[in-house]
Amino acid sequence: MSKLEITVPAAGESVSEGDIARWFKEDGDIVELDEPLLELETDKASLEIPSPGSGCLSITVPEGTTVLVGEVVGHVDTAQLEQAERPPQADEADPSVTGQTETAEVESAEEDTIKASTTKNVEMPSPAARKLMVENQVSAQDVPGTGKGGRITKADVLRYIKERDDMEATADIDRFESKAPPPQPADSEPARPAGRDETAPMKGAPAPAPPPGAPAAPAAPAPPGSRPTRREHMSRLRRTIAERMVSANQSMALLTTFNEVDMSKVMEMRTNYKEAFKKKYDVNLGFMSFFIKSATQALMDFPAINAYVEEDDIVYHDYCDICIAVATAKGLVAPVLRDTQTLSFADVEKTVYDLASRGRNGELSINDLTGGTFTITNGGVFGSMLSTPIVNPPQSAILGMHNIVQRPTVVDGEVVIRPIMYVALSYDHRIIDGAEAVKFLVTVKQFIENPSRLLIQI
449 within 8 A of 268, measured Cβ to Cβ: no
Q: CA-to-CA distance for 248 and 452, rounded, in angstroms?
A: 36
77 within 8 A of 48, measured Cβ to Cβ: no
Q: Return phi, psi of residue 149, to 5°.
A: 70, 25
**What is the three-state SS of the chain?**
CCEEEEECCCCCCCCCEEEEEEECCCCCCEECCCCEEEEEECCCCEEEEECCCCEEEEECCCCCCEEECCCEEEEEECHHHHHHHCCCCCCCCCCCCCCCCHHHHHHHHHHHHHHHHHHCCCCCCCHHHHHHHHHCCCCHHHCCCCCHHHCCCHHHHHHHHHHHHHHHHHHHHHHHHHHCCCCCCCCCCCCCCCCCCCCCCCCCCCCCCCCCCCCCCCCCCCCCCCCCCCCCCCCHHHHHHHHHHHHHHHHCCEEEEEEEEECHHHHHHHHHHHHHHHHHHCCCCCHHHHHHHHHHHHHHHCHHHHCEEECCEEECCCCCCEEECEEECCEEECCEECCHHHCCHHHHHHHHHHHHHHHHCCCCCCHHHCCCCEEEEEHHHHCCCCCCCCCCCCCCEEEEECCEEEEEEEECCEEEEEEEEEEEEEEECCCCCHHHHHHHHHHHHHHHHCCCHHHHCC
Active site residue 27: no
Q: CA-to-CA distance for 15 and 142, rounded, in angstroms?
A: 46
Active site residue 433: yes
Residues β-bridged to residue 258: 424
In terms of Cα–Cα distance, which of 180, 173, 183 is closest to 205?
173
Q: CA-to-CA distance for 18 and 47, rounded, in angstroms?
A: 10
Q: CA-to-CA distance for 343 and 430, rounded, in angstroms?
A: 31
Query: Of 165, 282, 339, 433, which one is the catalytic site residue?
Result: 433
Chain mean position to CA 243: 16
**Catalytically active residues, by annotation:** 429, 433
